[in-house]
Amino acid sequence: MSDRPAARAIHADVFTDAHRISCRINISSMGLVALLNDNNTSMVEVEDAYFSRIQQPAKIMSHHSIAHLNKVNIPLMVLSRREDFGPSALARGGFARVIACPVLITLAAYEVKGLVEAVSKYDPSAILVGGTTRFMPVYNATATVALIPEPAYSGPVVVINRMHAISIAEIEEAKP
Amino acid sequence: MANILVIDDDRDIRPMMQMLLTRLGHTPAVAARGEEGFISAVNNKFDLVILDLMMPDIDGFEVTRRLRADARTKDLPILIFTARTQLPDQEGAMEAGADGYLTKPVDPRELTNKINQLLTNRPVRPALSSAQTSGPMVAATPATSLPFLANLTPPSATPAAPAPVGPLPPLTLAPTSRVSVILGLRGGAGATTLATNLAGTLSRNGKRVCLIDLSPVGSEVALQLRLRPKNTWADLPPAPDANTVGQMLVRYDTGLFILNAPTQPVRRSLSGETFHAILSGLSGFFSEIVIDGSPMLDDATMLALNVAKCALVVLTPEVVAVQMAVGTMRALNTLGILDTSLQVALNQVTPETGIPQTAVELALGRPVDLVIPFDRGQSAALTQGTPLAFIQPVSPLPTAIRSFVAKF
């Protein structure tokens, strides 16, 4: 558990390979990014967790007032507000000139399309394996379960566990 | 002032909603659990229920289903107000019977607008659904008790007159009646969606509307609106009188009637002479006749195009669809339907952007008259079996149609 005081609660949709967990997460003023990338904790405590199976995402199968998630095994999360992820300086890993690159990132069970922020130029290794943070944001993104392409889950931020990312490909802009 | 029930387990939301509703001049009541809310809704008289989806005992989907199944609350407007923002949740809620969907956090003005919309423009549940107790399809009954049929003579027991031989006489429609044809010769263009929403929009504007499905390859209108018609145009005699045609109509909504196509593909399209008689009969009773054209240029479709005040060719922004539209318009020209009497609708049926509008216009050699943006709500409308114009009148598709209708 983080010893930072909780500033507010946010709603998040956490997706594992088999389940969707709609829950509330208490975060500090540093945002969800600080909680997820805190190397001193392995678990995330969530409240009011509603579990659905991934093949029936709108059917609630179970409710628990408290649940604990193992951060290592969370492939991705969908947030409904960009600011929930955290202050932009922290989310980007510092102040720098950033460019937004449209990409497709594949995980074992998911495909995510959206914008990643890169410093100066698109650098796949810096995006996927550079630095020490485990979770990265993909903005204005859509996540699809590879084996069940419909429906897609979209949000202003999809948070990806980089340890689960298998490939990244830049999406070329359509030529006029 | 309306009585509004808020069912939400969030202890912060309930007082906020109470305050907001009181300020708006309504009388709010609250329930913290799904079961408690359901009992309160069936035992009291409410004008609207605002319902959360995620609740610990029974979730909002189940509460919605129970409210719809109970005779006391089957017509009660339900607005879902939830933190679940994903499309499957919205589709699931609409499928369960909700009338509106808003996600938290919400702008109070948006919430106010939605509440006012549901209170003043009560959502129309298909009139026939009350007879439905299970299964998604609506068993449609003939509109034999329509007021406009009351003054007509009962159907003759004698066989209908034989079909006229030779060229048809000129079709004269009542001056107060207008015919609109939606033509999409390529499947998937969204012509039926446009037809149902155009008919719905016109009926919401206070017109008496008849929607006719000419498709001989299965009634797409019936499929979209979840109707199971007992009678279709295939059951009509060759030259039916107005009364006989009236018996084949299904009443879908106040002011909206439907003449369905056969639910299974048939070998023959509706004949020109039968359709001639249908239009002659109906034009006296309906101010608007919307025709979902056949996927081929058969006699009935050509007759409709000849008398239409508005003939809309629908295409999607894809290469094949544009080529098809070019070919269709050339074929219509050779059959005497001039370009000037046609209008073109560019329908964005998927979120992916296709050929730019300018390129489509270049290929067609004419401007596009109506652009319909992609509308995510359409999938929920199809799931619910209701035109989007009824359940989300301010979403992009109905808005585009409303603007188009305003130019009529």
Closest CA to A1 of A32, A49, A43, A34: A43
Asked if B101 is an interface residue toward chain A (Cβ–Cβ < 8 A), one would say: no
A84 SS3 class? helix
Closest CA to A117 of A131, A134, A143, A97: A97
CA A128 to chain B, closest CA, distance in angstroms equals: 26
* Bridge partner list, A143: A112, A153
pLDDT greater than 50 at residue B198: yes
CA A147 to chain B, closest CA, distance in angstroms equals: 16
Residue of B nearest to A62 (CA): B56
pLDDT greater than 70 at residue B310: yes
User: For residue B385, what pLDDT band results from cuts at 50, 70 and 90?
Assistant: confident
Higher per-residue pLDDT: B170 or B146: B170
Query: What is the β-pairing status of strands A98-107 and A110-119?
Result: antiparallel
pLDDT of residue B284: 80
Contact B83 A80 (CB under 8 A): yes
Residue of B nearest to A11 (CA): B83
Distance of CA B158 to the CA centre of its chain: 36
Asked if B56 is an interface residue toward chain A (Cβ–Cβ < 8 A), one would say: yes
Per CB-CB distance under 8 Å, the chain B contacts of A57 are 86, 88-89
Contact A152 B87 (CB under 8 A): yes
User: For residue A32, what pLDDT band results from cuts at 50, 70 and 90?
Assistant: very high
Give me the residue from A50, A81, A151 closest to B88, CB to CB: A151
Higher per-residue pLDDT: A88 or B43: B43
Average pLDDT along chain B: 81
User: For residue B5, what pLDDT band results from cuts at 50, 70 and 90?
Assistant: very high
pLDDT greater than 80 at residue B359: yes
User: For residue B163, what pLDDT band results from cuts at 50, 70 and 90?
Assistant: very low
pLDDT of residue B130: 36
pLDDT greater than 60 at residue B392: yes
pLDDT of residue B203: 85
Closest CA to A64 of A81, A78, A52, A77: A52
Q: Give the C-alpha separation, A152 to B169, whole Å.
A: 55
Higher per-residue pLDDT: B133 or B313: B313
Asked if B87 is an interface residue toward chain A (Cβ–Cβ < 8 A), one would say: yes
Which of B133-137, B240-244, B356-360 shows the lowest per-residue confidence on average (mean pLDDT)?
A: B133-137
pLDDT of residue A1: 47
User: For residue B63, what pLDDT band results from cuts at 50, 70 and 90?
Assistant: very high
Query: What is the β-pairing status of strands A98-107 and A165-170?
Result: antiparallel
List pLDDT tens digits, range B335-351.
888 777 789 999 988 87
Contact B86 A59 (CB under 8 A): no
Give me the residue from A60, A81, A153 closest to B59, CB to CB: A60
pLDDT greater than 60 at residue B165: no
Mutation target among B35, B54, B103 for the A interface, most CBs of A within 10 A = B54
Rg (alpha carbons) of chain A, rounded to whole number: 16
Asked if A48 is an interface residue toward chain B (Cβ–Cβ < 8 A), one would say: yes
CA B61 to chain A, closest CA, distance in angstroms equals: 8
Asked if B66 is an interface residue toward chain A (Cβ–Cβ < 8 A), one would say: no
User: For residue B147, what pLDDT band results from cuts at 50, 70 and 90?
Assistant: very low
pLDDT of residue B196: 92
CB B283 within 8 A of CB B148: no
Mean pLDDT of A57-68: 94
Give me the residue from A48, A58, A78 closest to B61, CB to CB: A58
How many other C-beta atoms can be found within 10 angstroms of the C-beta atom of residue A176?
A: 5
Mutation target among B9, B89, B107 for the A interface, most CBs of A within 10 A = B89
Give me the residue from A60, A63, A155 closest to B85, CB to CB: A155
Tell me the whole-structure pTM to 2 decimals.
0.54
pLDDT of residue A53: 94
CB B61 within 8 A of CB B32: no
Mean pLDDT of B110-126: 72
pLDDT of residue B121: 60
User: For residue B125, what pLDDT band results from cuts at 50, 70 and 90?
Assistant: low
Per CB-CB distance under 8 Å, the chain A contacts of B59 are 50, 60, 63
Asked if B8 is an interface residue toward chain A (Cβ–Cβ < 8 A), one would say: no
pLDDT greater than 50 at residue B126: no
Per CB-CB distance under 8 Å, the chain A contacts of B104 are 11
pLDDT greater than 90 at residue B88: no
Quick one: CA dihedral A23, A29, A35, A37, positive or negative? positive
Residues 6+ apart with CB under 8 A from B16: none
Mean pLDDT of B235-243: 85
Asked if A155 is an interface residue toward chain B (Cβ–Cβ < 8 A), one would say: yes
Higher per-residue pLDDT: B286 or B252: B286
Per CB-CB distance under 8 Å, the chain A contacts of B356 are 176
Query: What is the β-pairing status of strands B27-31 and B3-7?
Result: parallel
pLDDT greater than 90 at residue B251: no
List pLDDT tens digits, range A12-30.
999 999 999 999 999 988 8
Q: What is the ipTM of this complex?
A: 0.83
CA A1 to chain B, closest CA, distance in angstroms equals: 24
How many other C-beta atoms can be found within 10 angstroms of the C-beta atom of residue B19?
A: 11
pLDDT greater than 80 at residue A176: no
Number of cross-chain residue pairs from A and B with Cβ atoms under 8 Å apart: 48
Residues 6+ apart with CB under 8 A from A36: A44, A71, A134, A135, A159
Contact A59 B92 (CB under 8 A): yes
pLDDT of residue B138: 39
Per CB-CB distance under 8 Å, the chain B contacts of A58 are 61, 88-89, 91-93
Which of B38-52, B132-146, B254-268 shows the lowest per-residue confidence on average (mean pLDDT)?
A: B132-146
Asked if A75 is an interface residue toward chain B (Cβ–Cβ < 8 A), one would say: no
Q: Give the C-alpha separation, A32 to A34, whole Å.
A: 5
Residue of B nearest to A55 (CA): B88
Asked if A11 is an interface residue toward chain B (Cβ–Cβ < 8 A), one would say: yes
Asked if B84 is an interface residue toward chain A (Cβ–Cβ < 8 A), one would say: yes
Asked if B104 is an interface residue toward chain A (Cβ–Cβ < 8 A), one would say: yes
Per CB-CB distance under 8 Å, the chain A contacts of B88 are 57-58, 151
Contact A50 B85 (CB under 8 A): no
Q: Which two tokens stand for residue B56?
A: 């610990």
The percentage of chain B sitting over the pLDDT mark of 90, rounded to a whole number, equals: 26
Closest CA to B251 of B269, B229, B234, B235: B229
Report H helices in B34-107: 34-43, 60-69, 87-96
User: For residue A96, what pLDDT band results from cuts at 50, 70 and 90?
Assistant: low
Quick one: CA dihedral B145, B146, B150, B153, positive or negative? negative
